[in-house]
Each structure stands twice: as structure tokens, then as C-alpha cells.
Amino acid sequence: MEDIKIGLIVAPDMPEKLTYKCLDALQQQLKKLLPDIDCIFDIETDSVTGSAEYVHECIDYAYRRKNEKKWDFSICITDLPSFSNSKAVLADVSTDNQTSLISIPPLGVYRLKHKFVHALSDIVYYLYNVSINEATELTFNHLAVGNIKQVDPKDHNSTNERYILNSTIIGSIKTVLGMTYANQPWKAIGAFKKIISLGFATGTYVSIFPTPWKLSIDFSILRFIILMFIAVIGMVAWLIYSHHFWEKPSTKNQRKYRYAYNLTTLLTLISLTVFNYIILFLFLFISVMLFVPDELFQLWGQADGDTSFSNYLRLTWFITSVGLLAGALGSVLEGDEKMKELTYSSRQFARSQKIDERLKKEEASSSYKEREDQHDGQVQSHKEGSKQ
């Protein structure tokens, strides 16, 4: 049985975790595609693969690592998007160098592990067939992410094949949703502890006055929804403003990437705020149920005694919205650095800095080696001249 060594160079955080989770399934899928081949994977974590706007550097780095580690193929896996003429790029492939780069966000959220395994195995299968000069095509038929089209990556000379989601709208939606999932917003729930406590204190304090009781009885469902919407959007807007999460135009960013980063940040913060709204609602509901007698609804709110449970729900809904909006505005999140890691612009900037530092070191090392070689040549020439 033939062995092939495959190097997977993955970006930190979500791509690394996803790759390790899918490793067994990937082995099984490749066993179906290549029954006579034993695929051996070597996984490396490196921030260089996490740069969306450095595709050629990623491919070049993967090619160098392939040669250094004696891999047969090398594949970069990133959680950041790549765009080609406003269309989401799923993968870049260099058949000459036997390397590739796959972007996870265009795979979306639904059945992500399944699609990731099939995308990765299809690329390995394709690279293997190319290496043995067998005619084949890379189609990604099992992904169900929309129409995938092969284009010529004219903007980069490191790859000779690029695969994009042909629909701009569907590709953008899937990419942004995939980026939001890659942000792992659940990791920042702990940063809302201060906001939850202030919201709970404000909601509890508001509930001791008769006005919220009367309003909660008189409000229609539409008014409750509008108040909740204002509370959530107000909280998100304040977080973006106070923590500088919004990426502004500059010479260092491209508009299409900036739009994707900002929209992903917006969806991430909305999902976080909604989740914490639910937590605050549950805390206040338990508090109201335990400490508020049902008779007070009839006394303060002129409520119908036959709808006591509904009265509790309506009061809790009202004070949750008011508590979140009034109690949390002006506060800041705990673990500001942790929150910034959830925004693509901050993560991209940090990774780009590491790439620039690495490129500078490589250039300096290359220049030093050239000077050493030149110096050795001059010394050797001098010695030969002396002998003459």
C-alpha cells in the first residue's frame, strides 16, 4: 500500500479545532476515494494561513513547508474570507506545486463538518490524480453550497486554479454567516457578566414602581417587540462605539473585506446580545415569580386575575428590555482584548503584522546570505589571485 504525506497548515482557533474534529472522518472519506492509499496527515498551526489578502504568500509558504517537511501535498486552511471580483473564493489550487488553500467561511454553517471533510478530501483526491498524470476535475459536487465555478486567478501567480461561488449574493450570505460562526461568539458570554448584573439590578429596581406594571398590561405584542428591538440594537450600537469594533476606511484595507468584517462583527454582537437578553429574561422571570404576589397585578395594573401567568411574562418582558437598555448603556464589557479577538478586523491586523514581520526576517536573512556568498566569493577570488 502506497503512503502519501499531507501537510495541513491551519489558522489558529476555529480552523484548528475543526480540523482535529474532522480528522477521523477525513481519513474514512479518503479511504473510499483512494482505497489503495494510506493518507498520513501532519497538522501545523500557523497564523500565516489566517490572512485573507495574502493568498500568494500562503501558497508560497505552504510550498516551502512541503519541501522542508517532505510532504507530498500541503493545504492551508483559513477562517478568513477571500474574494475574487466580489465573489467568494472557496479554494485556490497550485497543481504545479501540489499545494492549496481552502477558506472555511464560504461553506456556511449548516452541516459544516460534512462539507469541510468533503471539500478537503476532494482537493487531496484531485492533487493525487494530478501527481500521477491522471485526467480529473475538481468539482466539489457534495458540498451543496451553490454553483462552484473554476476561474483563472490572474491576480496571483502562485496558483493556477481558483474555485469561486458563482452567485455573488448567495456566496456573500454564506461567507458572512460562516465568518460569524468562525468568530465563536459563545466564547465571549463571560464578558457580559457586568452588563447582565447591571441589567438585572435596573430591571428589579424598575419593577417596584406601578407604572411598568400598568404599561406591561396595556402594551400590545407589537410594542413589546419594538421595545426589545430598540434595547438590542441600542446595546449593539453602544458596544461598537465604546469598544471601537467598527473598521473604518483606510489605505490598508480593501472595501469588500471591510464590508464583510463589519457585517460579521454586527451579526456576532447581535447574536451575543440576544443570547444575553434571554439570560436576563430568565433571571428576572424567576425573581418576579418568587417575590411578586399575583394580587399586585390586579391592584397596580388592573390586570385580570385569570391571566396571572401571562401577567408575569409581560412584566418580565418589559423590565428586561428596560433593564438591558437603561442599565447596560454606559457600561463596558469585561475582557476587552478577548472581545477584540472576535472581530475579524483585529484578528486580520494581528495576523498581517506577523506575516509582515516574517517576510522582513526572510528578506533580511536572504540579503545576509547573499552578502556572505558574495564575501566568500571575493575571498576565494583573492586567494586564487595570490596563488597566481
**pLDDT for residue 297:** 61
Q: Is 354 exposed, middle or buried (0-12, 13-18, 19+ CB in 10 A)?
A: middle
CA–CA dist 54, 38 (Å, integer): 32
Cell of 49: 494561513
Is residue 277 over pLDDT 70? yes
Report which of residues 358 and 262 the model is more confident about. Answer: 262
CA–CA dist 339, 322 (Å, integer): 24
**Pair 212, 322: CB distance under 8 Å:** yes
84-93 pLDDT, tens digit per residue, is 888 888 998 9
Cell of 1: 500500500
Is residue 83 over pLDDT 80? yes
**pLDDT for residue 124:** 92
**Pair 5, 65: CB distance under 8 Å:** no
Taking residues 250-255, report their average pLDDT.
Answer: 64
**Pair 150, 163: CB distance under 8 Å:** yes
Q: What percent of the chain has pLDDT over 90?
A: 19
Q: Report in angstroms the alpha-carbon separations of 49 from 10, 68, 123, 358, 384.
A: 6, 17, 17, 13, 48
pLDDT classification of 379: cutoffs 50, 70, 90: very low
The dihedral formed by the CA atoms of 380, 383, 387 and 388, expressed in degrees to the nearest 10: 70
Report which of residues 387 and 62 the model is more confident about. Answer: 62
**Pair 178, 109: CB distance under 8 Å:** yes
**Pair 255, 249: CB distance under 8 Å:** yes
The helix-helix angle for 168-182 and 14-21 (nearest 10°) equals 90
**pLDDT for residue 223:** 92
**pLDDT for residue 387:** 45
**pLDDT for residue 135:** 72
Taking residues 180-195, report their average pLDDT.
Answer: 78
Structural domains in the chain plus CATH codes? 2-166 (3.40.390), 184-342 (no CATH)
Mean pLDDT score of the chain: 79
Taking residues 178-193, report their average pLDDT.
Answer: 79
Q: Report in angstroms the alpha-carbon separations of 54 from 60, 70, 226, 357, 361.
A: 10, 24, 43, 13, 17
pLDDT classification of 382: cutoffs 50, 70, 90: very low
Taking residues 212-241, report their average pLDDT.
Answer: 87
4-25 pLDDT, tens digit per residue, is 999 999 988 888 899 999 999 9
CA–CA dist 18, 174 (Å, integer): 18
Taking residues 125-145, report their average pLDDT.
Answer: 82
CA–CA dist 74, 114 (Å, integer): 21
